[in-house]
Amino acid sequence: MIGFSKVIFSTGTGIALLASFGFLADSARAQHAPVRVDVDYAAFAYDEATSLIEVYIGVEAPFLDFEAAETDGFVALMPLRLELAHGAAADVGESDTVPVWADSTVLRFALPDTAGMHSGHYFTHQTRSAVPPGDYVLDLTVPDRSARPGLRIRQAFPVDRFEPDGAPALSDITLATGIAPDNRRENPFFKNGLLIHPSPNRLFGEGLYHMYYYAEAYGVEEINPGNATYIVYTYVAEADHPRPITDLEIRTQRAVRSPDVLVGSFDTSGLPTGSYALHIVLLNDQNEGVVERSLKFFVYNPGVSREDPAVLELDFETSSYAEMSEDEVEQGMAYARLIANDMEGRRMRRLSELDDRRRFLMDFWQKRDDQPMTPSNEFKDAFYRRIQYANDRYTSNIEDGWESDRGRVVVTYGLPNDIEPHLYDQATVPYEIWQYNNIPGHGQSIFVFADVNGFGRFELLHSSVPGERSLPNWRSALYRR
């Protein structure tokens, strides 16, 4: 098992984190491969017209070209250009849109010695700017350098509007490898009396067990009007299931201040390898969630085995699943595909025997049972209630409600927190904007549905959730031709 070492180096861009984490690199291959870069970001309140964005960049050291420095050690230089332009995740081609923000620089990384470099040796860089809220695409470019090809990364970059004196709200969440009090304002990682070392790849576990987080809460005085305190509930859950993991939840009562800086950490040493989500919830005195944010992260712990949830395999023959007809199984599998993860989806495609498919459905729902000691499966019941709601609300002579775009979104993500209807605007086709305060792993999200053809069939036009349809300049597509 490869260990972990961490050294902090001072560079031209501030503090860079060097860490060994993962498998050994093939240095011969790395010599001619594109540089490996991770990109993450967060947005915070700034002023009435703009939000403060932070872009976090992680670079793997073995994919850099180090040369002997004039004094001691070795130095690698990496040209970098960042552009932020209006658009969305589907806007992956070239665009004539003028960037709202651009930054060109040459990052300088220093090492005392390049011997024994591992694939996980990691540097971090951070940059900030204030931009108007909106849907953007971040374009990161590293140009070609001698024998090493260049790199281009484009990703959706939604920037929310935050009103420090308005309704309760949460900023984006920054995950970090370390947070400590500090007063060095000149340091690029300084913020609100803290040095925050971001983790652009959001990878924790073996050798880097402590996952730190930073967020800001706004308008908290409106959570319990007249009260001097409110409650923050923070927890870790499986990425595809919002149930808190035992011993990985914190509930604190905090004094009202706006903005309020929320900082903490969790020990990931006991988590099996996999995908998880950090949730932050602001609660009122009735223990009701007012605002929630979540952010997906990843854990690599090869020495920790995953305990499969208890399944009632021995009771299958007497269960209702064993009596399901072929049509019922087909329908059940179709429903399950809406929320199945990638591994489950691949397994579903491989199952051909009817009994194997029945057993799969039994296992599928048991794994999602929030309260296995109760006689009913509350998660499954809630899911099927959403199926019924979608069928009642959105069924047409073309398709069942759950198969429609709006029905599928309801079944997959639940009912939206707000629906903004635009059914009778003269200049546009009928459309709706659905707003979610929090979708686990994605945070605040929107879905835009439009009756493009005028037949009453609302199609998904745009969403801020990765993997869903995303249309650049979707507002212009709403106007009648």
Residue 78 near residue 175, CB atoms below 8 Å = no
The DSSP annotation for 313-351 comes to GGGGGGSSGGG--HHHHHHHHHHHTTT--HHHHHHHHH-
Q: Which residues pair with 8 in a beta bridge?
A: 17
Closest CA to 214 of 160, 267, 248, 175: 175
Q: Radius of gyration over alpha carbons of the chain, in Å?
A: 25
Note down pLDDT in tens along the chain; length 481 residues: 223 333 333 333 333 333 333 333 344 445 556 778 889 999 999 998 999 999 999 988 877 888 888 888 888 888 999 999 987 544 444 555 688 999 999 988 888 877 766 656 788 999 999 999 988 989 999 888 766 677 888 888 889 888 766 789 999 999 999 999 998 888 989 999 999 999 999 999 988 999 999 999 999 999 999 899 999 999 999 876 778 898 999 999 999 998 999 999 999 999 998 889 999 999 988 888 889 999 989 998 988 887 654 444 447 777 888 889 999 999 999 999 999 988 888 899 999 999 999 999 999 998 888 777 777 888 898 899 899 889 888 988 788 999 999 999 999 998 898 899 898 888 899 999 999 988 877 788 899 999 988 878 899 999 988 889 988 788 888 988 7
pTM metric for this prediction: 0.65
Domains of the chain plus CATH, in order, are: 1-159 (2.60.40.150), 163-306 (2.60.40.2550), 313-366 (no CATH), 416-478 (no CATH)
Could you give the CA distance from residue 198 to residue 190 in angstroms, rounded to a whole number? 11
Among 113, 46, 116, 29, smallest CA distance to 75 is for 113
For residues 318 and 313, what is the distance between their CA atoms, to the nearest angstrom? 10
- Which phi and psi angles does 360 have, rounded to 5°? -60, -45
Per-residue model confidence (pLDDT) at position 1:
25
Structure tokens at 55: 């872009």
Question: Helix or strand or coil: residue 305?
Answer: coil
- For residue 438, the model assigns a pLDDT of 84
pLDDT of residue 32: 56
What does DSSP say about strands 74-86 and 101-111: parallel, antiparallel, or unpaired? Answer: antiparallel
Per the structure block, which two tokens stand in for 163? Answer: 């009103």
pLDDT of 122 reads 80
Angstrom distance (rounded) from CA 444 to CA 413: 12
